[in-house]
Structures are given as structure tokens and as C-alpha cells.
């Protein structure tokens, strides 16, 4: 749902100009240094990018899902690191609080997240618990007015910079599945928290992940999101539905950038006395990419609108995430092919994007997990 088209158009135009004028020119610096320059981070704060989806009552812009998707289309056209830094505050790092937090928790944390004063981080994945999130082993044992956290979380986005963690932990060891899991909001400076070394990844330079280790970490009982035990897994799944639509939109943006670059290269690059864009086999790759981007964009917008309308979009979110991220990988592969040998050289952005977008098919649930979710939902509906 778009609340005011004119206002949204102005916001999208502002972000497009920021992407083209500031972020794209800094891509090489981020790729070489593995850091986003602080002056760029400050500009992102000033533009309100850390609070795009946080409700206006808590100093954010309160974008709807559809409005957020249009912003993601623009942010996807540059290095994923920029979006990743603000993404946890707008997505999985804050969504748990927005969806299920107490009013006191919201009042305390959300304005800080919206301003970019603190970075939020979402701690679900563990060394032995990834796709099977319900099998997580991190524990939270009640001790008077406190909980004691113990466990290790893995591949946690923005953990090296986080001011607060949303932590999924098992509060009831007698319940082996998802029913024993609770969600907590934890200050990163709490004694007993330590960080592993930054992960060295295939791509996505400037977007940092690492392990987060909790060793007898005492947190107040008030850190329990919503004040209720046993609903943390449900909170996580609600968060991931929203995140999957966002990643799908981001994939559309990245694919659009890669196709734009590939088309420009094909128009300018000459072989056999003419632009390679004149060759039908090149045209086939361009056309396939254009059609798939269009299809993914339609899916993403449809899923976003249904979520804004209050519908259960578990299936639609998974469909959009699966198709859009796989599409993005195919566009990346064709882009390298269109560039030929130049596509394998870091001088061209397609080489970096080829590596960067590979992660889209893994996080927020792998393609195979999306297939399982879609099929299970279909079977459930057919047998009710």
C-alpha cells in the first residue's frame, strides 16, 4: 500500500540520487578496504535511512511494505554493503520489537535504531542450527529477575557494529521444538558477550558478519521481547516473512543494475566491426534477463501489497524470495558472459556483483528451504 504517491516519489528520487551520486562512486573504496567510509554512514543517518520502516511514533519514516520495496529496488543498484548496514535496523534487527515488543521496549530502543545511533543485529543461526532454526541450542535460564544466556550464534550480520542484539534462545529445555524458544533484546555491552573474528566471505566486502558468543551473560527479565516466553520462534518467522520480500526486492534492484551495465557494455563493445548488441545470441541473454526481472518485480510488489493488506504471505514471500534471488543469479551469470573476458576482471562491476549476489540465495532461508515452505503450505491447504 502506497499512502501518498507524491511523497513516495520524492523519497525514491532522493535515494536514487544518493545511490548514483554517493554510493556507486564509493563502491570501489568499499571493495578495496572492506569498510564503508564514516562520512557516507553519517550521510545515511542524516537521510533517515536507518529508520525507513520504523514507525513514525518512534522517529522513523514508517514505510509500508510496498513503499519499502520501492526503496529496496533503488538500494539494490549499488554494493550490498550499504543496504546491509541499514538493513538490520529496518528489518530483522528491529522487526521483532515492532511486531511483538512491549511499549517500554519500543520506546527505549526504536528511536535509537531509527536515528542510527545504534545498530541492531538478529541472532538466530548457530553452528549446528541454520535452516533448522527450531533446533537451536542457545539457552536462557531464568534466575530470579534475570536470565542467564549461554550459546554461540554464527554468521550474524552487523554483529561487529551492533549496539543491540535480538537473540533467540531456548527457555524451556523440556520442549524440543520451536515452542521452547523465546526472543530477547540484549545490549551488546552486557558482560559475558564476546565476538569472533570477522568472517572472510566470497563477496559483500564492507558487510560484516561474525560469531556472537554468550557465556553466562546475565540480562534483566525485562529483556524478554513481549514479556512472554515460548513465542520467540513465531516472532522470528514473522520477521523472516518480511525480510524475504525485502531480499527479493533487493535482488530485483541488483539484477537491474547488472543488466544496465551489461546492456551498456554490449552497445559499446565492438567485434567483427559492429556492437556485440547486434548479435542475436547476446540479444537473447539481454531479453531473458529483462523478462525475468519484470516477472520478479511483479511478484515482489504483489507479495508486498498482500502483506500490507494484512494477509498471510508466507507462501508469497517464499515464492518471491526464491524466484527473485535465483533470477538475480542467472542475470549475474549472463552479465559476466556478455562482458566476456572483461567480466572476469575486477575493473568491471559485474565481477563484484557476480560474487556479491550469490549470498541472496542463502540467507533469510535458502532456496531449498523456500521450496519446502511453499510445498508444505500447499499440502496443508489441500488437506484441510
Residues 316 and 120: their CA atoms lie apart, in Å, by 26
Catalytic residue among 27, 67, 292, 364: 364
Nearest residue to 128 (alpha-carbon basis) of 141, 140, 119, 137:
137
Tally of CA atoms within 13 A in the half-sphere of 268 that contains its CB? 8
* Residue 143, beta-bridge partner list: 146
Q: Is 364 a catalytic residue?
A: yes
DSSP string of 78-123, one letter each residue: S-HHHHHHHHHHHTHHHHHHHHH--HHHHHHHHHHHHHTSS-EEEE
Q: Alpha-carbon distance 123 to 164, whole Å? A: 10
Q: Which three cell numbers stand for residue 229?
A: 516466553
Sign, CA dihedral 15-19-22-27, equals positive
- The label of the residue with cell 513514525 reads 56
Q: Catalytic site residues? A: 364
Amino acid at each position: 500500500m502506497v499512502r501518498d504517491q507524491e511523497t513516495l516519489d520524492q523519497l525514491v528520487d532522493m535515494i536514487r540520487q544518493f545511490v548514483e551520486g554517493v554510493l556507486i562512486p564509493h563502491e570501489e573504496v568499499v571493495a578495496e578496504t572492506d569498510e564503508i567510509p564514516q562520512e557516507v554512514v553519517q550521510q545515511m543517518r542524516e537521510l533517515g535511512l536507518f529508520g525507513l520502516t520504523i514507525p513514525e511514533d518512534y522517529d522513523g519514516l514508517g514505510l509500508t511494505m510496498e513503499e519499502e520495496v520501492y526503496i529496496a529496488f533503488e538500494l539494490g543498484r549499488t554494493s550490498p554493503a550499504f543496504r546491509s548496514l541499514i538493513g538490520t535496523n529496518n528489518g530483522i534487527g528491529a522487526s521483532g520489537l515492532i511486531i511483538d515488543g512491549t511499549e517500554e521496549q519500543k520506546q527505549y530502543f526504536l528511536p535509537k535504531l531509527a536515528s542510527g545511533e545504534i545498530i541492531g543485529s538478529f541472532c538466530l543461526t548457530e553452528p549446528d542450527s541454520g535452516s533448522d532454526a527450531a533446533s537451536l541450542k542457545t539457552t536462557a535460564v531464568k534466575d530470579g529477575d534475570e536470565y542467564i544466556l549461554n550459546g554461540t550464534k554464527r554468521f550474524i550480520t552487523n554483529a561487529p557494529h551492533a549496539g543491540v542484539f535480538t537473540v533467540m534462545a531456548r527457555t524451556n529445555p523440556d520442549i524440543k521444538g520451536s515452542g521452547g524458544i523465546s526472543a530477547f533484546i540484549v545490549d551488546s555491552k552486557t558482560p559475558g558477550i564476546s565476538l569472533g573474528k570477522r568472517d572472510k566471505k566470497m563477496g559483500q566486502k564492507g558487510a560484516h558478519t561474525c560469531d556472537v558468543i554468550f557465556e553466562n551473560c546475565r540480562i534483566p527479565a525485562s529483556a524478554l521481547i513481549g514479556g512472554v516466553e515460548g513465542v520467540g520462534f513465531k516472532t522470528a518467522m514473522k520477521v523472516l516473512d518480511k525480510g524475504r520480500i525485502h531480499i527479493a526486492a533487493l535482488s530485483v534492484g541488483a539484477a537491474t543494475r547488472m543488466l544496465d551495465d551489461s546492456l551498456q557494455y554490449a552497445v559499446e563493445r565492438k567485434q567483427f566491426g559492429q556492437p556485440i548488441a547486434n548479435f542475436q545470441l547476446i540479444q537473447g541473454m539481454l531479453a531473458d534477463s529483462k523478462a525475468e526481472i519484470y516477472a520478479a518485480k511483479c511478484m515482489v510488489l504483489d507479495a508486498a501489497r498482500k502483506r500490507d493488506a494484512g494477509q498471510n504471505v508466507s507462501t508469497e514471500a517464499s515464492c518471491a524470495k526464491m524466484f527473485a534471488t535465483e533470477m538475480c543469479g542467472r542475470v549475474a551469470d549472463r552479465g559476466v558472459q556478455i562482458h566476456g573476458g572483461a567480466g572476469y576482471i575486477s575493473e568491471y562491476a559485474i565481477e563484484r556483483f557476480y560474487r556479491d549476489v550469490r549470498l541472496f540465495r542463502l540467507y533469510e532461508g535458502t532456496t531449498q528451504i523456500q521450496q519446502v515452505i511453499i510445498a508444505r503450505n500447499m499440502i496443508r491447504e489441500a488437506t484441510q
